[in-house]
């Protein structure tokens, strides 16, 4: 009996990877999915944190896609390794802090490793949902061979949705996959994908506007750059990545910033950081829990207490009682007049 060739698919949770897998399944190819978690992925987090999102259905799109396809999904934590991709991208950044081309190379190279490890179980090629011309940075005709080459995947990387626009790969040349039944999509027009989704009966699929991660988001990128600037170093930890997604960020002095919860859900989430950060909270009125990130001098406690009071229900009061707690120290309280809207300077907002 002919050997059954299996593929591993990079699953982002978006429509393209969903279609790419189904196209191969239609040819009888067995596929398993792999999803890389860089820490910046759009999945879940803010849903879990913010109040008003509570009603929205929470789902992890990669898991959802795998379930639709009936395939196994391996989620891989690449947080540590991804740091080097983000900090030193050989091909630079896209419109924001997104190093898309290096990111793709990295992910495909991780998939190459996975294929090597699982070759004994019949895995011998990789598929992605990439479409030529779809994304300005990573999905251009010139970048397709770069990804294949730099990742070490070479001719075992197949893009079923645009394969007909690219040279034939090993799975096609060896006849494991019928090239005629692959596609020639290109450009930003999503209509062909939508038509194919309809043909396959996919509805309710995710279609993230910018990309698969927060690094394509302008505000998020600005906060990340501000964090690095504030620290004088481009180091980051998982907690930093998370905290950039939470709250209102204000930097009244270069050495520290405030992370002010925007609702009860965020306040609750920030509670979990009380042991690591200086926290500020109004006692006399309801108000947001606030973390201080960076080095703050105790002479600035009154300033930050006044800022935090401005964001609570006591904003119009003459005086608000505000507590500043330094981990492992006695909390200090201040009777303070909240800052006015004008006194909270525009340039403080990150």
Partner 1 sequence: MSEHNLDARRMLCPMPVIKTQNKVNELAVGDILHVVCTDPGVLSDIPAWARINGHEVISHQENEDEITITVRVGS
Find the binder of partner 1 among 25, 74, 234, 337 (CB under 8 A): 74
Do β-strands 30-37 and 6-10 pair in parallel, antiparallel, or remain unpaired?
parallel
- Report the Cα–Cα distance between both ends of the chain, in Å, rounded: 62
What are 291's strand-pairing partners? 259, 279
Q: Which does 146 bind (CB under 5 to 8 A by kind): ligand SF4, partner 1, none?
A: none
Judged by CB, which is closer to partner 1: 60, or 325? 60
CA distance 262 to 172: 53
- Looking up tokens 């740091």, which residue turns up? 83
- Token output for 25: 């399944």
Would you state the torsion angle of the CA atoms of residues 162, 165, 170, 172, taken in this order, to the nearest 10 degrees? Answer: 80
**327 touching partner 1, by CB under 8 A:** no
Stretch that binds ligand SF4, among 13-21, 100-108, 184-192, 333-341 (CB under 6 A): 100-108
Stretch that binds partner 1, among 37-45, 174-182, 213-221, 252-260 (CB under 8 A): 37-45
8 Å CB contact between 327 and 319: no
CA distance 34 to 13: 10
8 Å CB contact between 10 and 128: yes
Q: Which does 212 bind (CB under 5 to 8 A by kind): ligand SF4, partner 1, none?
A: ligand SF4
Q: How many CB atoms lie within 10 A of CB 257?
A: 23
Q: Which does 250 bind (CB under 5 to 8 A by kind): partner 1, ligand SF4, none?
A: none
Q: How far is the CB of 203 from ligand SF4 (least distance, A)?
A: 24
- Looking up tokens 């406690």, which residue turns up? 301
**61 touching ligand SF4, by CB under 6 A:** no
Find the binder of partner 1 among 7, 21, 42, 71 (CB under 8 A): 71
Judged by CB, which is closer to partner 1: 69, or 166? 69
Find the binder of ligand SF4 among 10, 62, 103, 289 (CB under 6 A): 103
Stretch that binds partner 1, among 40-48, 194-202, 206-214, 250-258 (CB under 8 A): 40-48
Q: Which of residues 138-167 bind ligand SF4 (CB under 6 A)?
A: 138
Give the contacts of 174 (CB within 8 A, at least 6 positions apart): none
Stretch that binds ligand SF4, among 198-206, 207-215, 237-245, 277-285 (CB under 6 A): 207-215
Handedness of CA 271, 274, 280, 284 (dihedral sign): positive
Which CB contacts under 8 angstroms, 24+ apart, belong to 91-96? Answer: 91/146, 94/136, 94/137, 94/138, 94/216, 95/136, 95/137, 95/216, 95/218, 96/215, 96/216, 96/217, 96/218, 96/220, 96/221
Contact letters for partner 1, residues 254-293 (x by CB under 8 A): ------------------x---------------------
Q: Which of residues 45-64 bind partner 1 (CB under 8 A)?
A: 45, 47-49, 57-60, 62-64
Q: How far is the CB of 39 from partner 1 (least distance, A)?
A: 9
Q: Which of residues 104-133 bind ligand SF4 (CB under 6 A)?
A: 104
Q: How far is the CB of 40 from ligand SF4 (least distance, A)?
A: 6
- Token output for 11: 């699953």
List interacting residues with partner 1 (CB under 8 A): 37, 41, 43-45, 47-49, 57-60, 62-64, 66-67, 71-77, 242, 272
**Positions that interact with ligand SF4 (CB under 6 A):** 98-100, 103-104, 138, 211-213, 215-216
């Amino acid at each position: 009996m002919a050997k059954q060739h299996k593929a591993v698919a990079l699953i982002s949770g978006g429509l393209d990877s969903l279609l790419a897998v189904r196209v191969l399944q239609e040819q009888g190819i067995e596929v398993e999915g792999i999803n890389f978690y860089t820490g910046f992925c759009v999945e879940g987090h803010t849903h879990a944190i913010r109040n008003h999102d509570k009603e929205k259905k929470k789902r992890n799109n990669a898991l959802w896609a795998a379930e639709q396809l009936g395939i196994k999904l391996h989620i891989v934590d690449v947080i540590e390794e991804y740091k080097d991709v983000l900090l030193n991208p050989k091909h630079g950044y896209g419109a924001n802090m997104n190093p898309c081309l290096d990111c793709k190379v990295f992910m495909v190279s991780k998939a190459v490793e996975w294929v090597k490890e699982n070759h004994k179980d019949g895995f011998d090629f990789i598929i992605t949902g990439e479409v030529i011309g779809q994304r300005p940075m990573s999905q251009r005709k010139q970048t397709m061979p770069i990804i294949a080459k730099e990742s070490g995947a070479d001719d075992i990387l197949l893009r079923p949705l645009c394969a007909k626009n690219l040279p034939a790969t090993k799975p096609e040349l060896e006849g494991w996959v019928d090239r005629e039944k692959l596609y020639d999509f290109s450009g930003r027009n999503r209509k062909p994908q939508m038509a194919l989704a309809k043909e396959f009966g996919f509805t309710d699929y995710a279609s993230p506007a910018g990309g698969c991660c927060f690094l394509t988001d302008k505000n998020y990128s600005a906060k990340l750059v501000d964090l690095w600037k504030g620290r004088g170093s481009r180091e980051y930890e998982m907690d930093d990545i998370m905290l950039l997604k939470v709250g209102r960020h204000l930097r009244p002095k270069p050495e520290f910033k405030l992370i002010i919860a925007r609702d009860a859900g965020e306040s609750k989430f920030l509670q979990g950081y009380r042991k690591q950060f200086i926290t500020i909270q109004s006692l006399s009125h309801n108000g947001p829990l606030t973390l201080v990130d960076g080095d703050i001098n105790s002479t600035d406690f009154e300033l930050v207490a006044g800022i935090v009071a401005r964001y609570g229900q006591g904003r119009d009061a003459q005086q608000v009682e505000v507590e500043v707690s330094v981990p492992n120290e006695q909390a200090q309280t201040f009777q303070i007049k909240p800052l006015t809207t004008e006194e909270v300077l525009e340039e403080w907002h990150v």
